[in-house]
Structure 1
Amino acid sequence: MDTGLNKTVPRGYKLTFLAILLFISWQCSTVSGFKWRTDLTYVYLKNDIAENITLHAHCKSADDDLGPKIISYGQNIEWWFIINFFETTLFWCNLWYLADSEGGVVSGSGDIFRVKQLKGCDDSHCYRAARKDGVHAYTFGPQQEDYILFGWMS
């Protein structure tokens, strides 16, 4: 008597099931559930150097070039993105400003956002400020953080 219970499942289905099972187990995290990120991350870059100082910024990632931007004192630029599947998202900025009326240029460049270093981010909002001593990352939360990402070169 054949009950159909002993029939074999085709190999393709077994491999597909195994691949799905491996993917789900790889994506699961014991801390936060699924690792796959679908929410937007926001970066805000503020000119906090001094009045009458205009900040020039050119930020980009491996996939996105935000183009040159001009940021007046007290103003900011912002952009948003989804962190990539491999969690290697990185944005880098080249920044400069004229320090005086004679054209002395102050510049600096470095990582403005790196997914493996989320200091200066409140949830998915990352705050950056260009100041006299360099570019800072900071938070507004109850345990306010403020640290320098990179300094200026004269």
Structure 2
Amino acid sequence: MRQLNYLEAWDWKFQTNYFDTTHFFCDMWWAETDRGRHNNGSLELYVAKRDEVICYHHCRYYAKVDGVYLYNIVKKRLDLMYSWPK
């Protein structure tokens, strides 16, 4: 388990398996102190058949105010992958 503070990053290297069934999940908890509430979410962060073309083996995710973005190396832009619950 990793705890990241505001503006911190964490990365790891991996290879997809032969059958392209590699999956990574991520559980997140965060506080919206200005709204007085806590949120959590479980994300299917990496799915080989979905994401290998988008980010190959160097996937960069960004948590922003409205959700989690993945940098698309083909289109050279951030794509919204998950929206935070309202």
TM-score (norm 2): 0.80
Alignment equivalent of 1:116, drawn from 49, 53, 56: 49
- 1:150: which partner in 2? 82
**CA–CA separation in structure 1 for the residues paired with 2:12 and 2:20:** 18
How has the CA–CA distance of structure 1 residues 75 and 104 changed in structure 2, closer, same or farther, with 3 Å as cutoff? same
Within 5 A, what are the aligned runs for 1:100-115?
Answer: 100=33, 104-115=37-48
> 1:138 aligned to 2:71?
yes
Alignment equivalent of 1:86, drawn from 12, 16, 19: 19
4+ residue segments displaced more than 4 Å: none
Can you give the 5+ residue segments of structure 2 that lack an aligned partner in the other structure? none
Cα deviation code 1:67-107 (max 9, x no counterpart)? x2111222111122221121100001111111106751122
Offset at 1:151?
Answer: 1.6
Q: What is the percentage of aligned positions where both structures have the same residue?
A: 27
**CA–CA separation in structure 2 for the residues paired with 1:142 and 1:149:** 16
Within 5 A, what are the aligned runs for 1:7-86?
Answer: 68-86=1-19
Cα deviation code 1:1-57 (max 9, x no counterpart)? xxxxxxxxxxxxxxxxxxxxxxxxxxxxxxxxxxxxxxxxxxxxxxxxxxxxxxxxx
**CA–CA separation in structure 1 for the residues paired with 2:5 and 2:12:** 17
**CA–CA separation in structure 1 for the residues paired with 2:40 and 2:17:** 29
Q: CA RMSD in A?
A: 2.2
* Residues matched between the structures, number: 85
TM-score (norm 1): 0.48
Can you give the 5+ residue segments of structure 1 that lack an aligned partner in the other structure? 1-67
